[in-house]
A and B are shown apart, each in its own frame.
Chain A
């Protein structure tokens, strides 16, 4: 396997005050790969995801996205923390979808999707609107351009959120428990959009509890516990013959 590495984490550490959340996470994500992160709550999987696009700052270790060191640059042989503006630039190219959607409530669905291309990428209005409409069509919301988030169901809101992230033309998409806040009957519509995205070859890191999705769509399943990667491999293998007792214990609870 000789694919480009998109994300490379080497012994990543992160603490919140006295709480040591990430205790040396190492993993790699390759171009076109769908990597599913699983683990009990508090295992650090969401924190790790948030480190990738710098919603959290890495304390120790190295985190690389493509060939850039996340959050730092080399200056006269020493690492210097990036400024807000440089961080903003580094985030470009990474899309993120949140558990609680976080759509802008004062903007319509279309407004949410064009915001990034218009303001951050400086696209012209007509092009941005056309692209946003086609993205909303793609996630099955062609009749909801002018709806405000409060007028949409959870599943529809999450699909708008995915369209909003895709509008930035990312090379990497991060999903932070995208279906955990949804009513069960709305989970399918969001997973379908994600499956389609994976089929198009998007590189994806997905924090999820959806075992079915991981098995069907995931290329790699990484199991985290206590701030470290406990086990990883092809989902079918990890799910059917987990090697580590903690993985086994977790899976027996999730699979019931």
Chain B
């Protein structure tokens, strides 16, 4: 007789009951689901969604580029470089993102113009909401990315670098061809999480009037008072984008895992071998 998993049945019953109760509560709560449905594909919401996705992608790209550079600086043998990198991480990881966004956005208050020498422009023209959001989110995330990249690089076996040196690869080639591809395997899962965090943190850019999805939702409910309905609309879109990102993450991880997922086969072999040994 197969083992009965009573625990699973009981927990399933409990969970279903709770979901049913929650569902009933929302149904009675006077939420106009038709409003949710209506605004889900409204032009202003989709425009905000586009901006959310764009700022996320741009900030992440900036975070990865800066993160790799800062990680390499942090690991450099040059004490000046590594101290600068340490200070960078300390500063931009230590100050809350919301505050960083506000500082970038309000930079014009203290630096009315920026530029080099004769090339001066008004800060207010350069520091658009998009620019401030990009710098605030991207630089903050780059401090985290730098630490991820550093952990990934440290996880690569020393023997790999020696083998690469032994076939006369230059330090740059060793980094690009041997160390980073292997570090990626360690870096990618947490980087995926960081991507998702950035997506959600981009909602903070609403306070510096960057027109992302939460700001769009807010503008609409200021006008029609359907507060919860529009927040639900935004939530649905966040969940949708996160789901897409998770799928992408899965495939990317599989791609960089090449050469690593075959260990099962090998265990099978060595088990067979030790069996032979025992017989002998």
Q: Answer whether A105 and B167 are a contact pair too, CB < 8 Å, given A98-B162, A151-B266.
A: no
Q: Select the residue from B165, B259, B265 with max chain A CB neighbours within 10 A.
A: B259
- A residues near B169, Cβ cutoff 8 Å: 88, 115-116, 119-120
Encode contact with B along A115-126: 1 for CB under 8 Å, 0 otherwise. Answer: 110011100000
Q: Choose one: A102, A165, A167; the contact of B159 (CB below 8 Å).
A: A102
Residue A95 is within 8 A (CB to CB) of chain B in the complex: yes
> A119, B177: Cβ atoms under 8 Å?
yes
Q: Answer whether A104 and B163 are a contact pair too, CB < 8 Å, given A84-B171, A116-B169.
A: yes
A107 to B164, CA, bound (A): 13
> B262, A148: Cβ atoms under 8 Å?
yes
| CB closest chain-B residue, reference A87 | B165
Encode contact with A along B155-179: 1 for CB under 8 Å, 0 otherwise. Answer: 0010110111111111101000110
Q: Choose one: B159, B182, B256, B262; the contact of A100 (CB below 8 Å).
A: B159
> A96, B259: Cβ atoms under 8 Å?
no
- A residues near B157, Cβ cutoff 8 Å: 102
Q: Choose one: B165, B167, B259; the contact of A55 (CB below 8 Å).
A: B165
Min C-beta distance of B266 to chain A, whole Å: 6
User: Chain A, interface size: which category?
Assistant: 35 or more
Residue A164 is within 8 A (CB to CB) of chain B in the complex: yes
Q: Answer whether A150 and B259 are a contact pair too, CB < 8 Å, given A84-B170, A115-B177, A116-B168.
A: yes
Q: Choose one: B185, B259, B262, B266; the contact of A107 (CB below 8 Å).
A: B259
| CB closest chain-B residue, reference A90 | B168
Q: Choose one: A55, A120, A149, A150; the contact of B162 (CB below 8 Å).
A: A55
Encode contact with B along A178-206: 1 for CB under 8 Å, 0 otherwise. Answer: 00000100000000000000000000000
- B residues near A148, Cβ cutoff 8 Å: 258-259, 262
| CB closest chain-B residue, reference A147 | B262
Residue A57 is within 8 A (CB to CB) of chain B in the complex: no
A120 to B170, CA, bound (A): 8
Q: Select the residue from A84, A88, A148, A161 with max chain B CB neighbours within 10 A.
A: A88
Which B173-198 residues have a C-beta within 8 angstroms of A? 173, 177-178, 181-182, 185
> A105, B260: Cβ atoms under 8 Å?
yes
> B162, A105: Cβ atoms under 8 Å?
no
Residue B273 is within 8 A (CB to CB) of chain A in the complex: yes
Q: Choose one: B164, B165, B259, B273; the contact of A105 (CB below 8 Å).
A: B259
Residue A153 is within 8 A (CB to CB) of chain B in the complex: yes
Residue B224 is within 8 A (CB to CB) of chain A in the complex: no
Min C-beta distance of B268 to chain A, whole Å: 11
A120 to B165, CA, bound (A): 10
Residue A103 is within 8 A (CB to CB) of chain B in the complex: yes
A168 to B170, CA, bound (A): 14
Residue A85 is within 8 A (CB to CB) of chain B in the complex: yes
Residue B263 is within 8 A (CB to CB) of chain A in the complex: yes
Min C-beta distance of A245 to chain B, whole Å: 35
Encode contact with B along A194-234: 1 for CB under 8 Å, 0 otherwise. Answer: 00000000000000000000000000000000000000000
| CB closest chain-A residue, reference B176 | A119
A149 to B157, CA, bound (A): 15
- B residues near A53, Cβ cutoff 8 Å: 165-166
Q: Choose one: B181, B259, B265, B273; the contact of A149 (CB below 8 Å).
A: B259
Q: Answer whether A106 and B181 are a contact pair too, CB < 8 Å, given A85-B170, A116-B167.
A: yes
- A residues near B162, Cβ cutoff 8 Å: 55, 96, 98, 102
> B160, A168: Cβ atoms under 8 Å?
no
> B260, A106: Cβ atoms under 8 Å?
yes
Residue A91 is within 8 A (CB to CB) of chain B in the complex: yes
Residue B269 is within 8 A (CB to CB) of chain A in the complex: yes
> B258, A106: Cβ atoms under 8 Å?
yes
- B residues near A89, Cβ cutoff 8 Å: 168
> B269, A168: Cβ atoms under 8 Å?
no
Min C-beta distance of A90 to chain B, whole Å: 9
- B residues near A102, Cβ cutoff 8 Å: 157, 159-160, 162-163
A149 to B159, CA, bound (A): 15
- A residues near B170, Cβ cutoff 8 Å: 84-85, 88, 120
| CB closest chain-A residue, reference B158 | A102
A88 to B185, CA, bound (A): 27
A153 to B45, CA, bound (A): 57
- A residues near B167, Cβ cutoff 8 Å: 115-116, 120, 164-165, 167-168
* CB<8 Å pairs between A and B, sample of 17: A53-B166, A55-B165, A84-B170, A88-B168, A91-B168, A96-B162, A98-B162, A98-B163, A98-B166, A104-B160, A104-B164, A105-B182, A106-B181, A115-B167, A119-B177, A151-B266, A164-B163
Give me 4 other A-B pairs in contact (C-beta within 8 A), A88-B165, A102-B162, A104-B163 excluded: A98-B162, A98-B163, A103-B163, A119-B169
